[in-house]
């Protein structure tokens, strides 16, 4: 059984779903789960997760928990302005994905960081 995304089964079998439909997947999530709309072809499937997928960051609020897209140059991020891993060709320094590192630091392609 293959999975589209690490840790998540689509449709109604997901552990985090509160209400769901076979066609649209999760319609609402249990408390403390993140709701994310995953695009599969033309369809959008609701997915309830304990952490947002790569390229998104989670924001917890009293009434709901949402996934929001990181900046384009980030593979993963803590919030909109703070990356935790960069896309290829960018190098991480204090939460920023830079094309060039500040003076005194060099680019590490394996870690994609200024070191």
Partner 1 sequence: YEWSQDRPGPGAPPCPSPCQCEEDGMFIMVDCSEMGLSSVPASLSPLTTYLDLSMNNISEIQPRAFHRLHLLSELRISGNQLRYISGHALQGLHNLKVLMLQNNQLERLPGDAPWDLPNLLSLRLDANLLSEVPAEAFRGVRSLRHLWLDDNSLTEIPVAALDSLPSLQAMTLALNQITHIPDYAFNNLSALVVLHLHNNHIQTMGSKCFEGLHSLETLDLNYNDLREFPVAIRTLNKLQELGFHNNNIKAIPEKAFVGNPQLQTIHFYENPIQFVGKSAFQFLPKLHTLSLNGATQIREFPDLKGTTSLEILTLTRAGLSALPLDLCEQLPRLRVLELSHNQIEDLPSFFHCSALQEIGLQHNQIKRIESSTFQQSTSLRALDLSWNMIGWIHPDAFASLHSLIKLDLTENRLSSVPVGGLGGLTHLKLRGNTELYEAFSPDHFPHMRVIEMPYAYQCCVYGSCDSYKPAGQWDTEQSTNEELHKRTVAVYPVHADTHYDPDLEEFQLEIEEAKLQTSVQCTPTPGPFRPCDSLL
Residues that bind partner 1 (CB under 8 A): 1-3, 6-9, 13-16, 32-33, 50-51, 60-62, 78-79, 81-82, 84, 94-95
Q: Please identify, using beta-carbon distances, which residue of 31 and 103 lies nearer to partner 1.
A: 31
CB of 14 to partner 1, least distance (A): 8
- Name the residue with tokens 């989670």: 58
CB of 25 to partner 1, least distance (A): 14
Q: How far apart are CA 68 and CA 79, in angstroms?
A: 8
Q: Please identify, using beta-carbon distances, which residue of 55 and 82 lies nearer to partner 1.
A: 82
Q: Hey, what are 22's tokens?
A: 């076979």
CB of 70 to partner 1, least distance (A): 13
Q: Please identify, using beta-carbon distances, which residue of 7 and 89 lies nearer to partner 1.
A: 7
3 state SS of 110: coil
H or E element: which one contains 96?
A: strand 96-98
C-beta neighbour count of 70 within 10 angstroms: 24
Q: Hey, what are 23's tokens?
A: 């066609």
Q: Please identify, using beta-carbon distances, which residue of 85 and 87 lies nearer to partner 1.
A: 85
């Amino acid at each position: 059984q293959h999975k589209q995304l690490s840790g998540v089964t689509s449709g109604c079998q997901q552990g985090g779903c509160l209400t769901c439909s076979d066609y649209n997947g999760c319609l609402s999530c249990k408390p403390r789960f993140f709701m994310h709309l995953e695009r599969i072809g033309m369809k959008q499937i609701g997915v309830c997760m304990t952490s947002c997928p790569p390229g998104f960051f989670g924001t917890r609020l009293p009434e709901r928990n949402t996934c929001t897209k990181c900046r384009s140059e980030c593979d993963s991020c803590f919030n909109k302005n703070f990356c935790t891993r960069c896309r290829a060709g960018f190098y991480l320094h204090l939460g920023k994905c830079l094309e060039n590192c500040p003076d005194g630091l060099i680019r590490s392609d394996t870690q994609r960081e200024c070191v």
